[in-house]
Amino acid sequence: MATDQELETPHRRRNARGEGARLAEEIVEGALALIEQTGTEESVTLRAVARQVGIAAPSIYAHFADRRAIMLAVVGQVFDELSRTVAAALDQAGADPVERLVAGCGAYVAFGLAHPSRYGVLFAPERRDDLCEGGEGGGVELDGRGRPVLELGGEAFDLLADGVEACVAAGRTSVDVFGAATLLWSAMHGTVTLQSALPGFPFPDQDHLVRSMVLRLAQLA
């Protein structure tokens, strides 16, 4: 009779020597696949990930201490995907700082709406203690530029703040960079969350909505 492990573990070719990093990537991809399939990170368990990848569950411990470690790697990968998407939009937007800021914000919203399950893991309640470095009084630590020190997602926020800063430098607005970037981030997150929750609501055209949001919140001429 087959053992429980044999029943739960599909056959999989063993990674060659030196390919351990590849297995770690496969574990993260397996967790992401489960999230995409079910729409929730609750589906991510060590046994479920092991079955998805085709390995024995104990093999995960060579790369991740526990489920939380896997989820942190998942969140890091999704933030990287989001940052690359925004950066690509900036590259295509030309030199005008306002158009670049609009394009970057549009790419953020589009990513969140196109990948609701992935986006959802970024700001789940479980992330509360994982995203930020603690500052004085339990608040978020700020760096030398007055920007928050984010354990995860810092690059995405910096792209947004850099966009606002470029508009200020070009004389297109005089807003506080951190304040305006935070307003825009809040508005983008709200847009993604609300449209994902109410897909049938007659929202304005997405491009028009994002442009109006950016121009108003960043006080751009």
pLDDT tens for each residue of 163-176: 999 999 999 999 99
Please say if the pLDDT value at position 5 is more than 50. no
Contact call for residues 94 and 169 (beta carbons, < 8 A): no
* Domain termination residue (choose one: 64, 91, 114): 64
- pLDDT at res. 82: 97
Q: Are residues 43 and 96 in the same domain?
A: no
Is 56 within 8 Å of 5 (Cβ atoms)? yes
| CATH number of the domain within which 173 lies | 1.10.357.10
Predicted confidence at residue 132, as pLDDT, reads 67
- Output the pTM of the full model: 0.85
Structural domain total, the chain: 2
Does one domain contain both 52 and 96? no
Q: How confident is the model at residue 157 (pLDDT cuts 50, 70, 90)?
A: very high
pLDDT at 96 over 90: yes
Residue ending a domain, among 47, 64, 81, is 64
DSSP assignment of 19-68 = -HHHHHHHHHHHHHHHHHHHSSGGG--HHHHHHHHTS-GGGGGGT-SSHH
Predicted local confidence at residue 10, as pLDDT: 44
What's the CA gap between 160 and 97, in Å, rounded? Answer: 11
CA distances (Å), origin 146, targets 105, 106, 161, 204: 21, 25, 11, 34
* Claim to verify: residue 43 and residue 92 sit in the same structural domain: no
Judged against a pLDDT cut of 80, whether residue 20 lies above it is answered with no
- The proportion of the chain whose per-residue pLDDT surpasses 90, expressed as a percent, equals 75
Q: Give pLDDT tens digits for 22-48.
A: 999 999 999 999 999 999 999 999 999
The pLDDT, as a whole number, for residue 215 is 98
- The string of pLDDT tens digits covering residues 97-121 is 999 999 999 999 999 999 999 999 9
Question: Which of 128 and 57 is assigned the larger pLDDT?
Answer: 57
Q: Are residues 34 and 101 in the same domain?
A: no
* Stretch 208-217: mean pLDDT: 97
**Residue 117 shares a structural domain with residue 178:** yes
pLDDT-based confidence at residue 8 (cuts at 50, 70, 90)? very low
Average pLDDT over the chain, rounded to whole?
88
Residue 16 pLDDT level (bands cut at 50, 70, 90): very low
> What amino acid is encoded at 151 in this protein?
E
Please indicate, yes or no, whether residues 9 and 102 belong to a single structural domain of this protein. Answer: no
Are 43 and 88 contained in the same domain? no
113 and 58 share a domain?
Answer: no
In this predicted structure, the answer to whether residue 198 has a pLDDT above a threshold of 70 is: yes
pLDDT in tens, 61-74: 999 999 999 999 99
Residue 184: which residues within 8 A CB-CB, separation 6 or more? Answer: 105, 160, 164, 213, 214, 217, 218
117 and 213 share one domain: yes
Instruction: Name the more confident of 34 and 154.
Output: 34
**Structural domain range at position 30:** 4-64
d(Cα 192, Cα 119) in Å, to the nearest integer?
A: 9
